[in-house]
A and B are shown apart, each in its own frame.
Chain A
Amino acid sequence: MANPEATSTDKPILETRKLSVDFGGLHALSALDIQVQRNEIVSVIGPNGAGKTTLFNAISATVEVSKGDILFEGKSLLNLEPNAITSRGIARTFQTVRLFTHMTVLENVMVSQHCHTKQNAFGALLYTKAFRTEEAEIRQRAEEVLSFFGTRLVGYRMDQPAFSLSYANRRRLEIARAMATQPKLILLDEPVAGMNPVESAELTTMIGRLRDEWDFTIVVIEHDMSVVREVSDRVVVLDHGEKIAEGNYDHVSNNPEVVEAYLGKSMTKK
């Protein structure tokens, strides 16, 4: 559940300052200020097209920032290549699952450790001691990450191509892959979308464990309000690229503006 220790007086691990992203005339994000504290779990919610995924894309440099700045551990991320951002310690998953489908489950996780390993072609060709040690380490770390999901991704399944996985397991593998980049901050884009209630409840507790056991800071985009209530220390609400509310779940869910923009339907249903 919520972590009362996380106070806003700490220096934020991630901070956006007046962040704007424009697509032609469309302001996908306008002057957005968000702060994420170390070890916090922040949910980003908002109706479809609010700019949530665009926020992740801007942080991971897959779209261009029009104005403003993004700071990670006090340093700007602007003008960095996506892979450099991953090396700094930010990992992400994709809303539309994008695995390396023709690689095995294990390879998917192994390749994601790329920026923390360094053996080159010569090591591989000469099959040096250093190469073998590093391979063993990569493999071990990969298995460690995969076993976080219980028995689902280990055993014979590690050597299956990713396309043979069920939908829920693909989502899990996406998270495993992000974990393998050894990040400080993980951005999860709708991690339980398409899962059944049992699976999504299970994944919800795992998001908590990711923070508690793996020491990650987590930003999660989620539509499922029960998940949001369960995991978030803080909730940020976006609408039309602007932040319309921020605070803990109860605070946000009672905010009339939010209810109108987004929660309206699902609140009355509950």
Chain B
Amino acid sequence: MTTIPPRPTFTQDWLRIARMGGIAAVGQTFIALSNMPVRLDERLLIKPILSMGYLILIVLPFAVGYRYGHQIKREGMPTFTPSMYEVLGGALSGALAGGGLSLLAVLLRHFDLRDPLVNWSPILLNLLTFGNATWFAVIIWIVIGTGTGAAGGLLRLLGPRAYRTAISVAITVASAAVLESLIVDIAKGLGLENLTDRLYASRGGIEWLSAIVLAVASGTLGVLGRGRFRQAKTQLSQLEGTARTQANAALIALTLAALIVLPLFAGKLTNELLANVGIFVLLALGLNIVVGLAGILDLGYVAFFAVGTYTAAVLTAATSPRISPEMPWLLALIFVVVITGLVGLFIGAPVIRMRGDYLAIVTLGFGEIIRLLFLSDWLSGWFNGAQGLVQIPPANIFGLTEIGGTEPRRVFYLVLAFCALAIYVSWRLERSRLGRAWMAVREDETVAEAMGINTVNIKLMAFVVGAMLGSFSGAIVAVKVGSVFPSSFLIVVSMVILVVVIFGGMGNIVGVIAGAAVLIGVLGGPRQPGLLAEFSEFKLLIYGALLIWMMLARPEGLIPSMRRSRELHQHEITQDAWLKN
């Protein structure tokens, strides 16, 4: 890759500036009118300068400022050295984006469009003007836009080392702010309240002085230690054979130990959160077998979750209307798995012969049908219709403990155990005859058949195994919540699980776990609040946006499965060229 001298600062690509700035301005207006800034303003990130509401308004100017300087890198094509050209262009694009908000402030002041646009409100105006006159808002948003846009452009000028440091500082401060409740909770358990009292303001948000200290500390650490961290990482990835297995085993043991010890010091809130994340990890691992490994786009996965929950409820609760064997939970679990597996077989058998889009639509239908059956009058003698089943007793584990919703820590340990089981199952099956057949079907069904694979049976197996794994979370949720209603199993649950799988990296166990931790832990599940609970009403919007961005920028997911391979590609071609001569 050759670099050529920078472009002159004042001969900008005006059209590009106008286009990117314009798009960002429209985006800013949309964000403002979606009411996100007003709602999120309640959450302070850095006291007193930055709330999440304002953060959301500077993301776009920063992004276009950075994006403006983007050059397409092609083999053998020279690239310009980044210079003030990028900074100025970024600043101007950012200014346009900020200008969108200025214009909105003016319009808000002089017109009233509250009828079609519910969020066209004085509160929004107040937020945009910082409580001052309109002209102030006009100027301040252009200034803010220019500043953040220029900052985005400046990022391009940084050398690789400075860039990494800047990113690590940003990530440290952002995670400290986002993970606030988690950190405070754990610090309390460890008796470190002093530290967090100093770090965070009493009503939330990092104290600005602490933020600076944190930034400086992480920056210094980054400068001093980053090289070593990278080194360790590459060393680890280069290990082969038994050394590699040992390193992996050590990593897994460490993670497990942390997950076992951490909840002991955490309060209810954190454990609740961890349990919720775990439940979605479990669901996502099950769906990952169906979608990620076997390539069957199942949009009705919630059906198995529902069947699992209801079966557990009927079998254990004394209040279930038709039959109430009041089984111990562990015994009921066997029935739950078997029955859900059978339901998987029953739904799968007619569906599985279809391919692609047809299959997706039909599974979507079945997902709804199952929910409607639980809701129906016809079966209300069994499941109580909309009233649902209540007073599900806690699970008794070999007479050792009682696990119920009032004890989130125990629930978390239960979830952890089942996650471990599901991970083991996924991991073993992936490296077996069955797992390979699943992948072959995913890659090319016709060829898989021609290679001797009975694709119908194999796909049905995936469906059933996925259903069984999903039923575990159902059984856990039954004791965790203590009641079950049809309204907990809307289509959106299927969608959220699917987004977790796609976002994390299809077919990859670590990716799926990371996806659940980020999406469910931070943004929250369909019903479960995440760390950024303020986001809950915009959750689906953000899920959608993330999914689109992911498909465009990183279709292989957060953590792709075969990363090293691409790097070796070049080697292969060189060797073949050599063989030819």
Q: List A residues at the B interface (Cβ < 8 Å).
A: 60, 62, 81-83, 86-87, 91-92, 94, 98-103, 107, 110-117, 119-121, 123-125, 127, 131, 134-135, 138, 152, 156-157, 160-161, 163-166, 168-169, 177, 181, 196, 198-199
**A114 pairs with B568, CB closer than 8 A:** no
| Given known A100-B444, A131-B432, contact A181–B573 (CB-CB < 8 A) | no
Residues of chain A with a CB closer than 8 A to B569's CB: 164
* A83 close to B572 (CB less than 8 A): no
* Chain B residues with a Cβ under 8 A of chain A: 424-425, 428-429, 431-437, 439-440, 443-444, 446-455, 461, 465, 562, 565-566, 568-569, 572-573, 576, 579-580
B580 engages A199 (CB within 8 Å): yes
Which of B444, B452, B461 lies in contact with A87, CB distance below 8 A? B452
| Residues of chain B within 8 A of A160, CB atoms compared | 565, 568, 572
Whether the pair B452, A124 counts as a contact (CB closer than 8 A) is: no
Tell me whether A83 and B455 are in contact (CB under 8 A): yes
Which residues of chain B have C-beta atoms less than 8 A from A163's C-beta? 565
Query: Are B451 and A181 in touch, CB under 8 angstroms?
Result: yes
CA distance in complex: A168, B448 (Å): 21
Is there an interface contact between A81 and B454, defined as CB atoms closer than 8 Å? yes
Could you give 23 example pairs across A and B, Cβ below 8 Å? A60-B450, A62-B449, A82-B449, A87-B452, A94-B447, A98-B444, A98-B446, A100-B444, A107-B439, A110-B436, A111-B433, A111-B440, A114-B452, A115-B452, A116-B452, A117-B433, A121-B465, A124-B432, A156-B568, A161-B565, A165-B572, A166-B576, A169-B576
Chain B residues in 8 Å Cβ range of A169: 572, 576
Residue of A91, A111, A161, A199 near B453 (CB, 8 A) is: A111
Of A83, A102, A123, the residue contacting B449 (CB under 8 A) is: A83
Which of B429, B448, B453, B454 is in CB contact (< 8 Å) with A124? B429
Bound together, the chains give a CA A152 to CA B576 distance in angstroms of 9
Q: Which residue of A lies closest to B444 (CB)?
A: A98
Considering the complex, give the chain B residue whose CB is closest to the CB of A174. B447
CA distance A109 to B437 in the complex (A): 11
Chain A residues with CB under 8 A of B425:
125
How many Å from the CB of A52 to the closest CB on chain B?
Answer: 17
Smallest beta-carbon distance B453→chain A, Å: 5
Set B446, B454, B580: member contacting A198, Cβ < 8 A: B580
Contact B452 A112 (CB under 8 A): yes
Residues in A neighbouring B439, C-beta threshold 8 A = 100, 102-103, 107, 111
Closest B residue by C-beta to A177: B451
Q: Are A100 and B443 within 8 A (Cβ)?
A: yes
Check B450–A101 contact: CB distance below 8 A.
Answer: no
- Give chain A nearest CB distance to B365 CB in angstroms: 27
CA distance A22 to B453 in the complex (A): 27
User: For the complex, what is the distance from the CA of A152 to the CA of B454, rounded to whole Å?
Assistant: 30
Contacts of B433 in A (CB 8 A): 111, 114, 117, 119-120, 124, 134-135, 138
Which A-chain residue is minimally distant from B424 (CB atoms)?
A125
Say yes or no: A196-B580 contact (C-beta < 8 A), given A124-B434, A161-B562: yes
CB neighbours (8 Å) of A113 from chain B are: 452
Name B576's closest neighbour in chain A (CB-CB).
A166
Most chain B CB neighbours (cut-off 10 Å) among A103, A121, A181: A121
Q: Can you name the residue of chain A whose Cβ is closest to the Cβ of B566?
A: A164
Q: Which residues of A contact B454 (CB under 8 A)?
A: 81, 83
Report the bound CA distance from A152 to B447 in whole Å.
Answer: 23
Distance in Å: Cβ of A184 to nearest Cβ of chain B:
13
A166 pairs with B565, CB closer than 8 A: no
Which residues does chain B contribute within 8 Å of A60, judged by CB atoms? 450
The 4 closest A-B pairs by CB, nearest first: A115-B452, A124-B432, A86-B452, A100-B443
From A150, which residue of chain B is reached at the shortest CB distance? B579
Query: Within the complex, what minimum Cβ distance (angstroms) separates A223 from chain B?
Result: 21
Q: Of residues A81, A113, A164, which shows the largest number of chain B Cβ atoms within 10 Å of its Cβ?
A: A164
Expressed in whole angstroms, the Cα–Cα distance for A196 and B576 within the complex equals: 12
Q: Determine which residue in B436, B443, B455 has the highest number of CB atoms from chain A within 10 A of its CB, and name it.
A: B436
Across the interface, B451 reaches (CB within 8 A) one of A111, A123, A156, A198, namely A111
Contacts of B452 in A (CB 8 A): 83, 86-87, 112-116, 181
Given A100-B444, A100-B447, A125-B425, verify A115-B453 contact (CB < 8 Å): yes
The minimal Cβ–Cβ distance linking B572 to chain A, given in whole angstroms, is 6
Looking at the assembled complex, report how far the CB atom of B556 sits from the nearest CB atom of chain A, in whole angstroms.
10
Tell me the minimal C-beta distance from A175 to chain B in angstroms: 13
Report yes or no: B580 in contact with A164, Cβ–Cβ below 8 A: no
Q: Are A164 and B434 in contact (CB under 8 A)?
A: no
Q: How far is the CA of A160 from the CA of B579 in the complex (A)?
A: 19
List residues of chain A with CB within 8 A of the CB of B580: 196, 198-199
Bound: A160/B572 CA distance, A: 10
Q: A94-B447, A161-B562, A181-B451 are in contact. Are A120 and B434 (CB under 8 A)?
A: yes
Nearest chain B residue, comparing its CB with the CB of A197: B580
Given A100-B439, A103-B436, A134-B433, check contact A114 B428 (CB 8 Å). Answer: no
**Given contact pairs A165-B572, A166-B573, a sample of 11 additional A-B residue pairs in the complex whose CB atoms are under 8 Å apart:** A86-B451, A99-B443, A103-B440, A107-B436, A112-B451, A121-B432, A124-B435, A125-B428, A125-B429, A168-B576, A196-B580
Task: Evaluate whether A62 and B443 lie within 8 angstroms (CB atoms) in the complex, with A110-B436, A125-B425, A168-B576 already known.
Answer: no
Provide the residues of chain B in CB contact with A94, threshold 8 Å: 447
Contact B428 A124 (CB under 8 A): yes
Pairwise interchain contact B432-A119, C-beta atoms closer than 8 A:
yes
Partner of B450, one of A86, A123, A152: A86
How many angstroms from the CA of A67 to the CA of B314 in the assembled complex? 56
Q: How many Å lie between the Cα of A119 and that of B306 in the bound state?
A: 31
> How far apart sit A107 and B428, CA to CA, in the bound complex (Å)?
15
Complex Cα distance A266/B435, Å? 47
In the bound complex, do residue B450 and residue A92 qualify as a contact, i.e. CB atoms below 8 Å apart?
Answer: yes
Within the complex, the shortest CB–CB distance from B289 to chain A, in Å, comes to 11
Cβ–Cβ contact B437 & A164, under 8 A = no
Give, as a whole number of angstroms, the nearest-CB distance from B571 to chain A: 9
Residues of B within 8 A of A115 (CB): 452-453
A91 CA to B451 CA, complexed, in Å: 7
Query: Bound state CA distance, A92 and B266, in angstroms?
Result: 60
Q: Are B453 and A114 in contact (CB under 8 A)?
A: yes
Q: A115 CA to B437 CA in the complex, in Å?
A: 10
Residues of A within 8 A of B450 (CB): 60, 62, 82-83, 86, 92
A17 to B465, CA, bound (A): 44
Which B residues are CB-close (under 8 A) to A199? 580
A94 CA to B43 CA in the complex, in Å? 59
